[in-house]
Structure 1
Amino acid sequence: MTSTSSAVPSTGLPFPRSEYEYRLQKVFEAMERANLDALLVTALGNLQYLSGYDGRGAIFMPFPLILVPGQKPTLVVREFDLRSVRLGSWVEELVSYRDQADFAPVCADAIRRFGFKGRIGLELGCWNLAPADVNAVHTELPDMKFVDASRLVARIAAIKTTMELEAMRSAMKMTDLAVRVFQQSLREGVSEAEVAASIEREVEQAGGVVPASSTSSSLLFGDRTKLPHGSAKHNAIRNNEPAFMELGGVQSGYHCGLVRSAVLGRHAETESLHDLSIAVLEAVISVIRPGVTAGEVDAAGREVLKRHGRPGLLNHRVGYQTGINWVERGYISLEPGAEDILEPNMTLHMPIILCGESGYVFGTSEHVLVTQQGSEILSSTPHTLYRA
């Protein structure tokens, strides 16, 4: 085991140290309210939110950030990734382990150094922490009580600071540019892959990033718009076919996704779906304001579909909390019955993607900021259907 403590270089961090210290203090306050003596942050988005490190190495093994109120945070990482973590994080106390088998004893030893026995919160409902990891740490610390704290950091991260909102507005500018390239590129015979390449090239020239050809993005033409998700392929669009995109610009790890659809010529079925998706989206946006629950937002959209006699077209939630990473398990979800209360400076993405009777998956979305009075749409491109 190797433990290091060194000055953190200023390069590699998208925000000043004071921003991360502010976030950490808010988490400490939440931990005290939850009666937690310690918290192990393992979800990649939460790890990046609090430490600055993007968690690339943690894809393979856990990189827990150990938080104890009033104490300096400790980040447990793979020895292989130690240098990258040191450059990409403001956290000074780094403890390393070499292989998977070393993780639990090294992590447990780092926890023992804080000198307490009590309640430790784990992000059990998030990605990147396997049951085997939990069992191994519990075996090393049998006297500790482990409790689920999956939503603790997510609730803090839901409310954006000024710096975070600046990053998201910058990301949305790149998303809007991607939308315009998507629309202007549509002509008979052009392929999804060609449009994705054009988007990435134009956005890169503008100094931004939109991973249009990645597996996390969707760019689909024709019958492939019947897929709920799909990266760009060498599939060309023909006249009288639909086109669909769900892409997001990225700035400092913050994503601003957007759904936009188009038709080359005419396509009655998807045009009808899109008209209805607009009605649902606008109903959803109209009720967003501080004090409203996530479930009430979801219900407003479903009520539109009920009035049209087509409630089955929407078989997923109407939206979700956004920020670092496109989505993170444990974030606020705008779904039936959700009791999370909206607050100013939350950011939400509402992809109203309807599933038609013959299989087409089509619709539109907006990315909004919850304001003191209601909501602000972050995109500058209309959510209406584009006709080429």
Structure 2
Amino acid sequence: MPTRRRFLRSAAALPAVLAMPVVGETAPTASALPPPIAALKDRSREAAPISTAERQARADRARALMAEKKIGALCITGGASLSYFTGIHAGQSERLFAWILPSSAAPYIVCPAFEEARMTEQLAQIPDGARTKIYTWNEDEDPHKLLVQHLPAGSLAIDERVQFVFAQRIAEADPTRRIVSGIPITAGCRAIKSPAELALMQLANDITLSVYRAAWQSAGPGITNRGFTDLIDRGYARCGVEGEASCQVGEWSALPHGSLKPQVIREGEIVLIDDGCVVEGYQSDISRSFVYGKPTDKQQRVFETVHRAQAAALAAARPGAPCQTIDIAARKVVTDAGFGPGYKFFSHRLGHGIGMDMHEWPYLVGGNMQPLEVGMCFSDEPGIYIPGEFGIRLEDDWHMTPDGGKLFTPQSPGLEHPFG
């Protein structure tokens, strides 16, 4: 799925200036890489895929939620929710492909006729695969009428990633049917991670931190921000996963999502790196801020404030506490240190849910009264951004346990040694 960082990087795809042989169009051999990158190992074999039995339990949970809310069926097209429930990886195009989960009947698939054989191959891995029917349509037929023709009685919940054109035409195909949001069903399932999901997220976070460390050790003043992210790209390739990164330097680190401008890392300037990798569909999202050389007193003060805010947010995490509690705790630290009020310098929410999407429900933001539950996963990413000077953000992912929040990765110890 396209991300803001991938957009920034593709739009700024300019030649990198490196002080070491790491730039090139073809993948180099390990001997051509900086030693810290070359030392990284393939960790993809450590990932245990989600089982069909677990996907069946997810479908059962979705049905229970639909029964509570008196919803007749759930409609999902391409995207993370489709993969979450079925293991099917399908993008969205102008042709309707949909998986329908009725609250009390077998699921069914609506797809183009030329996709039937490919879908049939995958029935063994999806919940109720043996009972799942496939209804096909040819290019001169209306798939939306076909979809509603087989719906049970009751309202139809639409996943949030279903394109508007599909949702509109489904509604037009059956004007008497009530269409509702599928978020309470999909987020109600996806927000609570199982032990298998937590293990995949732990691996993704471990890999990201190791790649960041290797890139930091391999770089230094004089390298471009694109050169730094190229090091991260090659580190992920060594680890056998897909990932990406953003790198912003000096005044551009004061923009939370960065700039398109080419940048060069200089001694004493803040470097802010951000993003993560994907392991069996599960994401990491980590930010580190650091300097090569000695930080200024102001840089050090801002770092220490952000570090305390991150710790305060985690300490506020308790099962049953409203999501906004975490944001409030971090924002108080920032404001008390003189970087307030409100969103003046800490210009974004404290965090977001994370799992199969890097940003997913629920969100740690003021006004969100949804209670925290054991198994929820979030980012913890306070930041202070001083326009025209620099910005510092520290981000680690964490999950809710019965005893409080638990980080997947340790907090950064300092600007000079961000990885200990």
* TM, length-normalised to structure 2: 0.78
Hey, what does 2:98 align to over in structure 1? 64
Hey, what does 1:7 align to over in structure 2? none
Contact 2:399 2:405 in 1 (8 A): yes
Contact 1:97 1:106 in 2 (8 A): yes
Amino acid at match of 1:322: I
Matches of 1:63 and 1:356 in 2, distance apart? 46
Q: Is 2:291 aligned against 1:263?
A: yes
* 1:353 corresponds to which of 366, 375, 383: 383
Hey, what does 1:4 align to over in structure 2? none
Higher mean C-alpha displacement, 295-304 vs 17-26: 295-304
Contact 2:62 2:186 in 1 (8 A): yes
Contact 2:78 2:89 in 1 (8 A): no
Hey, what does 1:320 align to over in structure 2? 352
Hey, what does 1:9 align to over in structure 2? none
Amino acid at match of 1:256: S
* 2:338 corresponds to which of 309, 326, 330: 309
1:258, distance to aligned residue in structure 2 (A): 0.6
- For residues 309-346 of structure 1, give each alpha carbon's deviation from its aligned partner in whole angstroms, at most 9, with x where no partner exists: 32221121101111002124xx1011101011111111
Hey, what does 1:122 align to over in structure 2? 158
Amino acid at match of 1:138: A
Report the RMSD for the aligned CA atoms in angstroms.
Answer: 2.7
1:87, distance to aligned residue in structure 2 (A): 5.6
1:174, distance to aligned residue in structure 2 (A): 0.9
* 2:279 corresponds to which of 239, 251, 257: 251
Matches of 1:232 and 1:177 in 2, distance apart? 26
Hey, what does 1:52 align to over in structure 2? 87
1:67, distance to aligned residue in structure 2 (A): 1.1
1:362, distance to aligned residue in structure 2 (A): 2.1
2:234 aligned counterpart, secondary structure = helix
1:230, distance to aligned residue in structure 2 (A): 4.2
Q: How does 1:47-196 map to 2 (within 5 A)?
A: 47-55=82-90, 57-58=91-92, 63-78=97-112, 90-91=125-126, 92=129, 93-97=133-137, 105-114=142-151, 116-123=152-159, 126-130=160-164, 132-196=165-229
CA pair 241-17 structure 1, distance change in 2 beyond 3 A: same
CA pair 321-113 structure 1, distance change in 2 beyond 3 A: same
CA pair 233-307 structure 1, distance change in 2 beyond 3 A: closer
CA pair 83-267 structure 1, distance change in 2 beyond 3 A: farther
Contact 1:258 1:365 in 2 (8 A): yes
1:78, distance to aligned residue in structure 2 (A): 4.9
Q: Is 2:231 aligned against 1:198?
A: yes
CA pair 303-42 structure 1, distance change in 2 beyond 3 A: farther
Amino acid at match of 1:113: H
1:376, distance to aligned residue in structure 2 (A): 1.4
Query: Unaligned 5+ residue runs, structure 1?
Result: 1-12
State the aligned residue count. Answer: 361
CA pair 239-22 structure 1, distance change in 2 beyond 3 A: same
The percent of aligned pairs where both chains have the same amino acid is 21
Matches of 2:234 and 2:89 in 1, distance apart? 24
* 2:408 corresponds to which of 332, 355, 378: 378
Contact 1:353 1:361 in 2 (8 A): yes
- For residues 276-333 of structure 1, give each alpha carbon's deviation from its aligned partner in whole angstroms, at most 9, with x where no partner exists: 21111111000112111101111111111232232221121101111002124xx101
Matches of 2:72 and 2:99 in 1, distance apart? 14
Query: Unaligned 5+ residue runs, structure 2?
Result: 1-47
Hey, what does 2:40 align to over in structure 1? none
